[in-house]
């Protein structure tokens, strides 16, 4: 996936608003990051006309869930 | 953002044409030409170049795009290139050129497509050189997203239908699409699929029991999906039926007065028919009376005349008084008068009596007969007199009924005049439609409720299984991994639902506010509109200053205004100033409304301290670009191109007119 930030700066105003709403949500950082990344991936998919999502979605869920677990453990300590 | 030039090569009748919109006046462009001159081809060329679509569809015959003149001018084996090239000035000061080409090879029968090409050359920054973009489609979708195109490149006919046919679903789709909330919903769908898969994977780590749980989980998920599809269908039916109910109600409201008159006409027609029935009844009665009493009347008349004649004759002594001829004959036979005097055989008395008997005997018998008839005649006369009273009654009833028929006929004619052009069946059809739509809505609401109940029940079951899966005691790392991912995916999904709901409402609210503001600015009847709103079901309403909902009553001009306002609103909410290219924008309007709308358009798309100018490219016929409209447009000093189809060479010729 191309750098999502480039696309956002390119004028995808709707997406920018969605990302801001996710950022403002009352949820842990990792879950918010995960949704943002999945959404941006979907946006790129839409532009490419692709419907492929599974491996990329799972990759991000795996990485960010591990991060979340680590953060939780750190917070517990 | 604005289009600075559009050029065509071998694109239908635009064989070699260039429209240059750069310079000071390119923000308001009029391309004028008669029907068939190439205006719609211009619009089609723009959307084909940017999105590869014709009339919003990518299913078109590519060979229909090539110029027929070029096909005729070439020989089999020759190559022909169709090209549309658009230069754009991005708001940031950068420029770009988008070029789409189709290459054909000439065959004996026509042309075959060889290949297509899309190229974007863009400046990365102001004043820099042009760089060929490796992903042209993506570049276009970032700068001129295809989702905006239906609201910025369209023909006037669609504009006219924009809100007349638009239902809540269309409004919802366009609002969510323009704000890209639809992409979030696709993300949610994918996330849901993956979340379920990960949960099942986590379950399967728990041995045989886990496998069973995974299977059950899958079954429940599938059932939920099935019911969700059914619920969506039911919800769509609810929306559709609700729209139909509103439309039928509005339409019935429109013709409420007509409906009232129609009910009146129905009543008067029934009364009229009743009066006609009474007339017929009286006539029948009269006929029956005449048949019964007629002979009596005729006979009576004759008898009366005869009696009168006899009495007259007696008065004038033309006839002797009544006597009995038989008695006289008896006297003659006995030879003795009633006074005792003998009647001599040759005496004068016998001769006189004989003369009376011979001359008046028959008459007297007739007179007697008449006298005998007098009794029955008098009784007939009495009967006729009674009959006369009956006939007077019948005649009075007939007279009244005829007077009613006359009065009701006048009433009916007045109602018919008031209802001229209105079809009686129209109201009945609408009532029928309303009834059916209400029944369909109730059925759909019931189904939706039932499916929601099922889904709720299944979700409870799903939650139970998820808890069981989470509490499975397995030592494997794989199990822990799967569970972690599954739980995390679920959390992400929950967040996406929250964000989706929040954004849908926020964007709807923003669009509603902007539309309200934009339409009020556009509508020329100031203070006429109190509020334009989009409710939580994405239903648009326009409320006038007297508190009435008038969306369905807007005139064609007002509706077109609302459509323009909606386009500009979507652009505002999405944060772009997209060029607006409209084919025949005001063709269906009367001169006065054409002027009003033109005035509004040139004012509302002009630059202001808060916003950049909205480029407006209008493709107009001569009947649209009237002297009066020209005068209004002159305030913005538009760029005008006149185009004309040259039949001899089958090609559009363009002339840039001086301002």
Question: Residues B52, B118: contact at Cβ < 8 Å?
Answer: yes
User: How far is B258 from B553, CA to CA, in rounded Å?
Assistant: 15
B640: enclosing H helix or E strand: strand B639-646
Max CA pair span of chain B: 174
- B577, two tokens: 């100033």
Select from B142, B184, B489 the Cβ nearest to the Cβ of A39.
Answer: B184
- B602, two tokens: 């040139």
- Chain B CA closest to residue A9: B142
Q: What is the DSSP letter of A20?
A: H
User: How far is B297 from B4, CA to CA, in rounded Å?
Assistant: 105
- pLDDT per residue as tens digits for the range B65-90: 999 999 999 999 999 999 999 999 98
Shortest CA gap A23–chain B (Å): 10
pLDDT for A3: 40
Mean pLDDT score, A9-25:
76
CB-CB neighbors (< 8 A) of B198 in chain A: 58, 61
Select from A11, A32, A64 the Cβ nearest to the Cβ of B142.
Answer: A11
pLDDT for B492: 95
Shortest CA gap A74–chain B (Å): 17
First to last CA, chain A: 36
Shortest CA gap B509–chain A (Å): 14
Q: To the nearest 10°, the Cα dihedral for B428, B429, B435, B440?
A: 170
Is the CA virtual torsion B186, B187, B190, B196 positive or negative? Answer: negative
- Chain A CA closest to residue B176: A14
pLDDT for B558: 83
B18 strand-pairing partners? B7
CB-CB neighbors (< 8 A) of B186 in chain A: 42, 46
Question: Residues B606, B572: contact at Cβ < 8 Å?
Answer: no
Closest CA relative to residue B567, chosen from B604, B620, B611 = B604
B537/A29: higher pLDDT: A29
Q: To the nearest 10°, the Cα dihedral for B55, B58, B63, B67?
A: 40
Shortest CA gap B199–chain A (Å): 12
User: How far is A26 from A33, CA to CA, in rounded Å?
Assistant: 12
User: B495 and A32 in contact by Cβ < 8 A?
Assistant: yes
Chain B touched by A31 (CB under 8 Å):
yes
Low-confidence residues of chain B: pLDDT under 70: 159-167, 250, 253-259, 317-322, 363-364, 366-368, 370-371, 373-374, 377-378, 381, 384, 421-424, 474-475, 608-612, 658-659
- Chain A CA closest to residue B138: A47
Q: What are phi and psi of B18, to 5 degrees?
A: -135, 130
CB-CB neighbors (< 8 A) of B575 in chain A: 11, 13
Question: Residues B140, B51: contact at Cβ < 8 Å?
Answer: yes
- Say if residue B549 is exposed, middle or buried (CB neighbours under 10 Å; 0-12, 13-18, 19+): middle
Three-state DSSP class for B95? strand
Task: Tell me what the pLDDT averaged over chain A comes to.
Answer: 80
The beta strands (E) that lie in B12-137 are given as 14-20, 28-32, 79-89, 95-106, 111-123, 130-132
Q: What are phi and psi of B100, to 5 degrees?
A: -120, 135
Chain B touched by A20 (CB under 8 Å):
no
Max CA pair span of chain A: 46
User: How far is B468 from A15, CA to CA, in rounded Å?
Assistant: 38
Characterize the bridge pairing of strands B14-20 and B79-89: unpaired
- Ramachandran area for residue B279 (φ above 0: left; ψ -120 to 50: alpha; else beta): alpha
Chain B touched by A8 (CB under 8 Å):
no
* Position A2 confidence tier, pLDDT thresholds 50, 70, 90: very low
Question: Residues A7, B152: contact at Cβ < 8 Å?
Answer: no
pLDDT for B422: 67
- For chain B, which residues lie within 8 Å of any Cβ of chain A, measuring from their own Cβ? 137-138, 141-143, 145, 178-181, 183-184, 186-187, 190-191, 193-194, 198, 481, 484-485, 487-489, 491-492, 495-496, 498-499, 502-503, 506-507, 574-576
Closest CA relative to residue B509, chosen from A17, A11, A40, A42 = A17
Chain B interface test: which of A11, A12, A14, A63 (most B C-beta within 10 Å): A14
Select from A11, A22, A42 the Cβ nearest to the Cβ of B183.
Answer: A42
> What strand order describes the sheet that includes B14-20?
B14-20, B2-11, B79-89, B95-106, B111-123, B130-132
Shortest CA gap A75–chain B (Å): 18
| B503 CA to centre of own chain | 33
Shortest CA gap B435–chain A (Å): 41
Three-state DSSP class for B339? coil
User: A15 and B180 in contact by Cβ < 8 A?
Assistant: yes
Chain B touched by A33 (CB under 8 Å):
no
The count of residues in chain B is 659
Neighbours of B572 (CB within 10 A): 19
B86 strand-pairing partners? B6, B98
Question: Residues B66, B72: contact at Cβ < 8 Å?
Answer: no
Q: What are phi and psi of B534, to 5 degrees?
A: -125, 115
Helices B477-522, A54-76: crossing angle, 10 deg rounding: 110
Question: Residues B4, B613: contact at Cβ < 8 Å?
Answer: no
User: B492 and A31 in contact by Cβ < 8 A?
Assistant: yes
Characterize the bridge pairing of strands B28-32 and B616-620: parallel
Shortest CA gap A50–chain B (Å): 12
- B98, two tokens: 């988008």
User: B183 and A43 in contact by Cβ < 8 A?
Assistant: yes
User: A61 and B576 in contact by Cβ < 8 A?
Assistant: no
Question: Residues B619, B46: contact at Cβ < 8 Å?
Answer: no
Q: Render B140-151 in DSSP notation, one character per residue.
A: HHHHS-GGGHHH
- The pairs formed by B275-279 with CB atoms below 8 angstroms and a separation of 24 or more are B275/B401, B275/B404, B275/B405, B275/B408, B276/B401, B276/B405, B278/B397, B278/B400, B278/B401, B278/B404, B279/B398, B279/B401, B279/B402, B279/B405
* Position A6 confidence tier, pLDDT thresholds 50, 70, 90: very low
- pLDDT per residue as tens digits for the range B184-213: 999 999 999 999 998 888 888 878 888 898
Q: Where would I find the H helices in chain A?
A: 4-9, 13-24, 29-48, 54-76
Residues 6+ apart with CB under 8 A from B469: B199, B202, B203, B206, B210, B213, B214, B217, B483, B486
Question: Residues B445, B218: contact at Cβ < 8 Å?
Answer: no
Chain B touched by A56 (CB under 8 Å):
no
CB-CB neighbors (< 8 A) of B481 in chain A: 62
Select from A10, A21, A64 the Cβ nearest to the Cβ of B502.
Answer: A21
Shortest CA gap B496–chain A (Å): 7
User: How far is B480 from B201, CA to CA, in rounded Å?
Assistant: 10
User: A31 and B495 in contact by Cβ < 8 A?
Assistant: yes
User: How far is B2 from B94, CA to CA, in rounded Å?
Assistant: 11
User: How far is B135 from B129, CA to CA, in rounded Å?
Assistant: 18
Question: Residues B199, B448: contact at Cβ < 8 Å?
Answer: no
- Chain A CA closest to residue B185: A39
Mean pLDDT score, A23-43:
93
CA angle B430, B434, B440 (to 5 degrees): 140
Closest CA relative to residue B561, chosen from B527, B528, B585 = B585
Chain B touched by A61 (CB under 8 Å):
yes
Is the CA virtual torsion B422, B424, B429, B435 positive or negative? Answer: positive
pLDDT for B88: 94
User: B503 and A61 in contact by Cβ < 8 A?
Assistant: no
pLDDT for A11: 40
pLDDT for A10: 35
Select from A18, A57, A64 the Cβ nearest to the Cβ of B184.
Answer: A18
pLDDT for B164: 59
User: B180 and A18 in contact by Cβ < 8 A?
Assistant: yes
Question: Residues B550, B525: contact at Cβ < 8 Å?
Answer: no
């Amino acid at each position: 996936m191309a750098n999502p930030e480039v696309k956002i700066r390119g004028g995808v105003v709707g997406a920018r608003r969605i990302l801001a709403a996710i950022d403002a949500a009352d949820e842990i950082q990792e879950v918010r990051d995960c949704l943002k990344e999945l959404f941006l991936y979907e946006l790129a998919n839409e532009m490419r006309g692709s419907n492929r999502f599974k491996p990329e979605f799972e990759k991000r869920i795996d990485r960010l869930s591990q991060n979340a677990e680590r953060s939780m453990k750190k917070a517990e300590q | 953002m604005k289009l600075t030039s559009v050029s065509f090569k071998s694109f239908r009748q635009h064989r070699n044409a260039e429209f240059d919109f750069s310079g000071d006046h390119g923000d308001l462009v009029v391309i004028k030409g008669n029907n068939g001159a190439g205006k719609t081809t211009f619009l089609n060329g723009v959307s084909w170049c940017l999105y590869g679509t014709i009339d919003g569809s990518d299913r078109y015959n590519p060979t229909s795009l090539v110029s027929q003149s070029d096909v005729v001018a070439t020989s089999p084996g020759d190559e022909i290139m169709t090209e549309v090239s658009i230069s754009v000035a991005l708001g940031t000061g950068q420029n770009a050129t988008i070029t789409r080409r189709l290459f054909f090879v000439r065959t004996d029968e026509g042309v075959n497509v060889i290949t297509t090409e899309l190229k974007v050359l863009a400046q990365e920054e102001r004043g820099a050189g042009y760089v060929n973009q490796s992903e042209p489609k993506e570049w276009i979708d970032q700068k001129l997203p295809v989702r905006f195109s239906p609201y910025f490149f369209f023909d006037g006919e669609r504009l006219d239908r924009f809100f007349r046919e638009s239902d809540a679903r269309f409004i919802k789709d366009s609002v969510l699409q323009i704000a890209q909330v639809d992409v979030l919903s696709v993300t949610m769908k994918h996330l849901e699929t993956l979340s379920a898969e990960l949960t099942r994977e986590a379950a399967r780590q728990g041995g045989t029991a886990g496998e069973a749980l995974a299977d059950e989980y899958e079954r429940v998920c599938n059932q939920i999906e099935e019911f969700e599809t059914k619920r969506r269908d039911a919800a769509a039916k609810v929306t559709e039926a609700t729209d139909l109910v509103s439309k039928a109600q509005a339409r019935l409201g429109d013709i409420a007065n007509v409906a009232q008159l129609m009910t009146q006409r129905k009543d008067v027609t029934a009364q009229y028919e009743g009066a006609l029935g009474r007339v017929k009844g009286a006539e029948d009665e009269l006929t029956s009376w005449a048949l019964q009493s007629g002979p009596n009347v005729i006979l009576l008349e004759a008898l009366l005349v005869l009696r009168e004649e006899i009495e007259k004759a007696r008065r004038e002594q033309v006839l002797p008084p009544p006597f009995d001829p038989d008695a006289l004959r008896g006297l003659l036979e006995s030879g003795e008068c009633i006074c005792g005097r003998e009647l001599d055989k040759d005496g004068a008395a016998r001769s006189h009596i004989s003369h009376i008997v011979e001359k008046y005997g028959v008459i007297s018998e007739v007179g007697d007969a008449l006298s005998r008839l007098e009794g029955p005649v008098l009784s007939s006369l009495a009967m006729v007199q009674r009959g006369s009273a009956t006939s007077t009654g019948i005649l009075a009833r007939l007279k009244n009924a005829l007077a009613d028929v006359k009065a009701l006929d006048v009433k009916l004619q007045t109602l018919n005049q008031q209802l001229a052009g209105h079809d009686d069946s129209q109201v009945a059809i609408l009532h029928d439609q309303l009834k059916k739509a209400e029944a369909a809505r109730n059925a759909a609401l019931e189904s939706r409720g039932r499916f929601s109940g099922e889904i709720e029940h299944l979700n409870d079951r799903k939650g139970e299984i998820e808890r069981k899966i989470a509490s499975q005691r397995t030592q494997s790392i794989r199990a822990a991994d799967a569970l972690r991912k599954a739980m995390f995916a679920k959390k992400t999904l929950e967040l996406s639902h929250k964000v989706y709901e929040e954004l849908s409402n926020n964007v709807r609210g923003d669009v509603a506010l902007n539309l309200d503001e934009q339409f009020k600015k556009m509508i020329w009847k100031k203070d006429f509109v109190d509020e334009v709103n989009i409710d939580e079901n994405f239903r648009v309403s326009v409320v006038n200053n007297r508190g009435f909902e008038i969306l369905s009553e807007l005139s064609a001009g007002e509706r077109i205004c609302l459509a323009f306002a909606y386009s500009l609103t979507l652009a505002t909410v999405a944060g772009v100033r997209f060029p607006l290219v409209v084919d025949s924008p005001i063709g269906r309007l009367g001169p006065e409304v054409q002027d009003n709308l033109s005035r509004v358009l040139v004012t509302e798309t002009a630059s202001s301290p808060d916003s950049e100018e909205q480029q407006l490219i209008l493709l107009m016929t001569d009947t649209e670009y009237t002297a009066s409209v020209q005068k209004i447009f002159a305030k913005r000093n538009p760029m005008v191109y006149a185009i004309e189809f040259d039949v001899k060479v089958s090609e559009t010729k363009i002339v840039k007119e001086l301002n």
